[in-house]
Every structure is written in structure tokens, then in C-alpha cells.
Copies of this chain bind each other. A is one copy, B any other.
Amino acid sequence: MPTSSSDLRPKSLTVPADSRTYDIDFVSLAGVPAHLRTLGLHGPNVVIVTDENVAAHYRSPLVHAFEADGWKPHVVVVPPGESSKSLERLEMLYDTLLPIGLERSTPVCTLGGGVVGDVGGFAAATLLRGVPLVHLPTSLLAQVDSSIGGKTGINHAVGKNLIGSFYQPHGVLVDPETLLTLPAREWINGMAETIKHGLIADAALVAYLDEHLVDILGHHSLEATVPAIRQAMAVKARVVGHDEREAGKRAYLNFGHTFAHAIEQVAGYGTVAHGEAVAIGMRAALYLSWQRHGDALDRERLDTLLTRLPLPDVSHLDFDALWTAMRHDKKTKDGRIRFVLLKALADPYVADDCAKPAVERAWDFVQQSPA
């Protein structure tokens, strides 16, 4: 991996999947219509699902690009945030899109972050039993994580992401310049998952972030960010590629997530952002791993990388409350809490035999050495 690059359009990546293999390409928004044609997709109709925040910046440029290329774009704008991952919003998408004369060949493009990709992707998966889906992720988190892997879905009162499909897109088109309008906290969220991909699978990415994370977070430098994005995408593509339906190693993507879900719940949803919670959860998971494997894991160096993210103080969260939340997580089976741990950097495994005192010591460490 180059340690610096002025190339904002690196080479494409391939995501191998049983149901459909597709590429991740670096394409400017202006180049999206022509790129869709190279994917074998055609108009005149094309659907763009986006949210209000993203629409304010990128709706007009993308619509104009499509129109200039001879397409007839139909834009559906949903409110930003998790509340749009609802059956009600999905019904609105159906009611809006079916009357336009949608055909089975009409592409649906999701323009935005994870929420837009999830609800727009689920609509694409189920309209006419499936129309072509193209993700145009504009957030760092969507670019390095949620746009890759074919998960679509909505929430239910019983829990998050309980309704949905595994539905692979025809393509993921990334324009890094859309990051320039991203709020600072979204950079932290996205870099938390980027670091995670390095920790579970790519020592070179971790080394790159050791050197460049401060520049990325401090200056939002695309030259520094794009190589990290591409490597993080490559990890995600590799992990999900041959585990489309989450049977095996896809579980490693949950590194840091056992604590993270508990932190989000105990702190109160919306208080701690998901990426922040994952970063804190990774610190705890690194400590748990180090207790088992000792110096095979250079814990201090990796912890230092994580603490370069500006993370909220969660030292007030009570361990017993976190433990109870972890025991009730949907991934817990027969009361055995599952953690992804590292034997060494980039060598993850799933453990369901972590004793409560060891888990508590990991939390004590996080409490006593705040980021």
C-alpha cells in the first residue's frame, strides 16, 4: 500500500458473492450515469433514494448528470436518521416508485449513508421482486462498511434490522469528494470502522493509520484518506465475499461490537454514536485479548491508535448494567456472550468463554484510562 497518494481514483475492487459478483469503483458523481451504462444498466428511468442532508449537497449535481446523459431521474428524499428505516417509509417508497412505470431493469441508486442504503436497498430488493441496485455511499462509514456486503433492511419495534434481505448491488460507486461535506463526528465514526478492518485483517492498514490518522482526522485530507478507505473496503469485500449469509468469518466484523451494543443501550441510544461505541468496545476487546494472549498482541500500540479518535467519556457507565445488556444481546446464545478477540494483529477468532471477571477487568481498564 502506498503511504501517500495523490490519486483520488484508485483501482476498482471486486466483491465475490455467490448470488452476484460486483465491483467497487471510484467514480465522481458526474461520471455515475456513464458508469451505469458500462454495468449494462439503462434508462430512461432511474431512481435516486437519498436523505435531506445529502440531497442539499448532491441532489442537483447527480440529477443534472443523469439528465445530461439522457436519463429520466426520479428522486425520493427521506428524512435523515434511523427513523427512516421503517415499514412506513418503505411503503412511501413503494407508493412513490410503482406508479412511475418502474420496470425490472430500472436501476435504483442509493445516494447517502447507511440508512439510505439500507431502506433504499430493501426497496430495490423487493420492488418487482428485485431491480438493479447501485450504492453511491457518501459517508465514510457507508464507503468502508455498510455499502459492501449486501445487507439491506429496516427496523422493527422489537429491534434493529429485523426485517430485510441479503441483496447484492450491481455496483458500489464511491466519490471520495463527497466526504468534504461530512460532519466531523461522521469522520470519527467512519475511521473507527476503518481501524476495525485493519485490526481484524490488515496489519499494513494499521501501520498506515498509525502514520496518517492524525492528518485524516485533523485536515480531512482526501490524499491521506483515500488509500485507507480503499484498503478498508478491500478487507470488507474479502470477509463478506465468501460468507454472503453470515455463516462464518463475517462474524469477525463484529470486533468491538459486543461492548459497543451494550454501551449504546446503557448510555441511551443516540448519546454515544455507533462508531464511537465500537472504538471503545475495541479498546475493551483488545484488553480482553491481551489478557489471554499477552505480548503476541502489541496492545499498547493498537490502543494508542484507537485513543487518537476523539471519543466520549463513558467512565460513568456501570459494568453490571453493561454485562446485563450483553447477556440479552440477540447474538448471545444460552447466556454465553460472544466476543471477537485477536490472537495477534489481524488474527481474529470468536470466543464464547470469557468469564465475567476478565470482562470486568477490561472495562475497568477502559474506565481508568479514558481516551
Q: Say yes or no: A163 contacts B126, CB within 8 Å.
A: yes
Is residue A11 within 8 Å, beta carbon to beta carbon, of the partner chain? Answer: no
Told that A94-B163, A126-B164 touch, could you supply 11 new A-B pairs with CB distance under 8 A?
A: A18-B18, A19-B19, A87-B87, A87-B91, A87-B94, A94-B162, A95-B156, A98-B156, A98-B162, A129-B164, A130-B166
Q: Write out the residue numbers on chain B whose beta carbons fall within 8 Å of the beta carbon of A95.
A: 156-157
Count of this chain's copies in the oligomeric assembly: 2
Min CB distance, A220 to chain B, in Å? 34
Q: What separation, in Å, do the CA atoms of A122 and B152 have in the docked complex? A: 15
Chain A residues bordering chain B, tally (CB within 8 A): 29
A residues within 8 Å of B by Cβ?
A: 18-19, 87, 91, 94-95, 98-99, 122, 125-130, 151-153, 156-159, 161-166, 245
What is the CB-to-nearest-CB distance from A329 to chain B, in angstroms, rounded to a whole number?
13
Closest CB in chain B relative to A332 CB, distance in Å:
12
List 18 A-B residue pairs with CB atoms under 8 Å apart, sorted by A's residue number: A18-B18, A18-B19, A19-B19, A94-B156, A94-B162, A98-B156, A98-B158, A98-B159, A126-B126, A126-B163, A126-B164, A126-B165, A127-B162, A129-B153, A129-B165, A130-B166, A130-B245, A165-B165
Kindly list chain B residues whose C-beta atoms are within 8 Å of the C-beta of A125. Answer: 165
A282 to chain B, nearest CB (A): 25
CA separation between A152 and B130, bound complex, in Å? Answer: 11
**Most chain B CB neighbours (cut-off 10 Å) among A122, A126, A245:** A126
